[in-house]
Amino acid sequence: MENSGPALKPAVSAARPVTFSGKVGLFMPSAAPTHDLAVLFVSPWGLEELCVHKFWRVLADALSAGGIASLRFDYSGTGDALDIADGAASGLALWENDIVEAAAQLRTLSGCKTVAVVSQGLGSMLALRVLERLDDVAGIACLAPVTSGRAYLRELQIWSRMVDEGLGIPEKDRIRDQVSIAGLRMPEDIAADIRKVVVSGTATRYAFVACRPDRPGDRELAEALRRDGADVLEINYAGYDAFISNPLISVMPESVGEKLVSWVSGLRGPQPASGDRVSSMTNAPSELRGPEFRELPVTFGNHGRLYGVLCQPLGERKGATTIILGTAYDRHAGWGRSGVEMARRLAGEGIASLRFDAANVGDSPPVPGGPEQILYNPSQLDDVAAAVDFLEKSELLPAVICGRCSGSYLGFRSVVADKRLQGAVIANPYAFQWDPALDVDVVIHSAPRQLHEYRSRMLKLETFRRLAKGEVDVVGAATNMVRAVARRLKRYLLPVLNRFSGSGSLHSQIVGEFQALQDRDAAIGLIYSEDDVGLVHLAEHFGEGGRGLSRYSNVRMTILPDADHNLTPVAAREAYLRAVQDMAVLKN
């Protein structure tokens, strides 16, 4: 959710997309008289980047309001950037060169000669290594900095195992031959270089270090920067663990952000920025081109409030354009970069797509006066309608839509609401219509598993060990088990309850919507992981295993074995991709 304090007020419009050297950046111009200072954001990697991504946007908006422009960007081979090309710089030098190029772009776009660097995690290590190459740097902010590459990779390996275990990914589907986390793979040559790196400071005028209490390396870096002559502001990184654990429930470190914005603002000099180079932003960004696709970062909606990427085939376009929805608060590149992979592979089959961040997600600012918690909120239908409007104006209809988890819920609600959408592929929907009696925050923090999952987990020795150590929320787990039992009872009682007046209104609505979709020939592809909790809700309306769906000729249902809720394993992703491709071809 958006935690905006006095110094963290969001903008109305999304930042302006730029492309350079196969990379995508977002330039946020100053919204006030500009001094000769601009900020370059240097990101961490992996799951940490997914959590930090929105924070960068919030900070960029706040800096803009204070007269400071900024640029944030994706490293080569990450996010929306092109994959690493043959002949590119090898190892860590590739990402270090990306930072240097981004700094040059920022100076050109902003008209500023002086730059401040704001970095986190691995980004801090990279930024410290190239700081001397950036010229005229007013200062550097290092949030939870990586100082030992070997220790970082070891910690990343442990973190990756925890994520895999938490998702329930079978051992055979876990990535063990490469440094990875949450489906993201780090190039082997980059990992090999990181393993050799130890940073111990650099020459800079000012530094801001957000230290984690249990990481002595953070404070050692602050001391090293002081020894090198820097004026260092050292603060406690309050809320770090809650911030970077999971994008779905990430809690933004508001106090850290406000202190950081205040520190950066204090670096401004008296000289104004030169305005003779900012005019280049009036032009649209250049397309990025891969072997079978061309991509253009775009903004759309009122005031350009939504940000996304339009991906089209190099050759003839075939099939319906696909709107690829994000999941929860993940940026549109997707969990494990799945949104990017899907878009580019669809383009290889002649299918265009639009992936984008909904309001208050990733790089799209919230709607003024809108809800803080946007998941499962009807306001998101406006974002999808704006995306369809954009495709219509671009002459890219007909369109279909796809999504996973909360994105699948939005996909279903959108195809019901907007007749311009010809079909939807929805994977692991928690529900088809949100029960207003349920608190979204409570559900996403403690979504119950299927009953047999609790049984199997209780039989594991590791579960008993965690219980003994007090690492398991016994009350919460018991509550969820009761809910699972109650749902199972409800599943069998629902046909009886629906006979009584005033009961089953939600059930009647959902059944009616499926009938309406069949009547207008809107195709629905339903995909579930075999143990997904959404199957319980499906059974409440259509019987065990969704057998009642057989009455709808427009619905096709698939169960994926050995797949987690996020469809992390390769086989699960492939099945999802095939379903989306088939839908787009069907609705050409």
Q: Is the pLDDT of residue 250 over 80?
A: yes
Position 426 in a domain: yes
Determine the 3-state secondary structure of 272 from DSSP. strand
Closest CA relative to residue 376, chosen from 327, 323, 440, 425:
440
Residue 279 lies in a domain: no
Q: Is 194 helix (H, G, I), strand (E, B) or coil?
A: helix
Residue appearing with tokens 């550097």: 140
| End-to-end Cα separation, the chain, in angstroms | 37
Q: Is residue 330 part of a domain?
A: yes
- CA dist 576 and 276 (Å) reads 48
Whether residue 479 is predicted with pLDDT greater than 70 in this model: the reply is no
- What percent of the chain lies above the pLDDT cut of 70? 86
Rounded mean pLDDT, 302-312: 98
Around 405, how many Cα atoms within 13 Å sit in the side-chain half-sphere? 18
Sheet holding 288-289, edge to edge: 288-289, 293-300, 306-313, 353-357, 321-324, 399-404, 421-427, 523-529, 555-560
303 within some domain: yes
Q: pLDDT tier at 72 (50, 70, 90 boundaries)?
A: very high
Could you tell me what percent of the chain has a pLDDT over 90?
A: 74
Tokens at residue 449, please? 């598993």
Is the residue at 502 inside a domain? no
Distances (CA, A) of 553 to 5, 112, 415, 417: 51, 61, 17, 20
Task: Answer whether residue 423 shows pLDDT above 80.
Answer: yes
Using the predicted structure, report yes or no on whether residue 365 has a pLDDT greater than 80. Answer: yes
* pLDDT tens track for 82-117: 999 877 888 999 999 999 999 999 999 999 999 999
Domain identity same for 233 and 298: no
**In contact, 422 and 445? CB cutoff 8 Å:** no
Per-residue pLDDT, 403: 98
Q: Does residue 163 sit within a domain? A: no
Cβ(436)–Cβ(540) under 8 Å? no
CA distance 420 to 431: 23
Tell whether 249 and 103 lie within a shared domain: yes
Long-range CB contacts for residues 97-101, cutoff 8 Å, separation at least 24: 98/21, 98/23, 98/73, 99/40, 99/42, 99/126, 99/127, 99/130, 99/134, 100/130, 100/133, 100/134, 101/20, 101/21, 101/23
Q: What is the pLDDT of residue 583?
A: 98
Q: Which of 28, 124, 26, 106 is nearest to 67 (CA)?
A: 28
What tens digit of pLDDT does each residue of 45-71 get?
999 999 999 999 999 999 999 999 999
Q: Same domain, yes or no, for 255 and 294?
A: no
Residue 525 sits in a domain of what CATH number? 3.40.50.1820
Asked if residue 296 and residue 264 are part of one domain, the reply reads no
Q: What is the pTM of this model?
A: 0.89
**What pLDDT is attached to residue 487?**
46
393 lies in the same domain as 307 = yes
My answer on whether 303 and 213 are in the same domain is no
The answer to whether residue 491 scores a pLDDT higher than 60 is no
Q: Is 419 exposed, middle or buried (0-12, 13-18, 19+ CB in 10 A)?
A: exposed
Pairing of strands 38-42, 69-73: parallel
Does some domain include residue 548? yes
Domain end: 208, 240, 268, which one?
A: 268
By residue range, what is the domain housing residue 295? 288-437+510-586
218 in the same domain as 109: yes
Name the nearest CA neighbour of 288 among 30, 505, 24.
24
User: Residue 436's pLDDT is what?
Assistant: 87
Domain shared by 318 and 365, yes or no: yes
CA 229 to chain centre: 38
User: Could you give the number of structural domains in the chain?
Assistant: 2
Residues 246 and 367 in one domain: no
Q: pLDDT digit string (tens) for 216-235?
A: 999 999 999 999 999 999 99
